[in-house]
Amino acid sequence: MGEDKPEIIVIESLTRARFAELISCKIRKGANSFNAYIVGLFSMVDLLLEVPLEQILQELLLPIEVKGALDGNSSNNDYRRLLDLIINYEKGQWDEVTKISKQLKLDEKWLPNAYYEAIFYANE
């Protein structure tokens, strides 16, 4: 990969972290914004460190629901749904974004402004 690979991954991770934090504040179920931020931040840590995610998660003291969201083993987890929403949003998979937004009881019309704010945050 290119020389700037770590910087791009860090920026994308920070974008996801802030986007997740902002979304968590709008979810009617009231996901913890700190945990949401951590899910976004660590969602690409395996790419940055070039270490398998399972190994990284074994060494980190994170809440079970955060680990479940990151390793993908917990599909019935709001943090996993939140991460799936973000990944689908990044890919432009709008049908999935709509579906997950409904599961989270989130008004998806709010997402573009939140994503813009997250990008701005990550590039400061």
pLDDT tens, position by position, 68-78 = 888 877 667 88
Q: How far apart are CA 23 and CA 20, in angstroms?
A: 5
Q: What DSSP string describes 88-102?
A: HHHHT-HHHHHHHHH
Copy the structure tokens of residue 124.
């400061």
pTM: 0.89
Percent of the chain with pLDDT over 70: 92
109 neighbors 115 (Cβ within 8 angstroms): no
Q: Is 109 exposed, middle or buried (0-12, 13-18, 19+ CB in 10 A)?
A: exposed
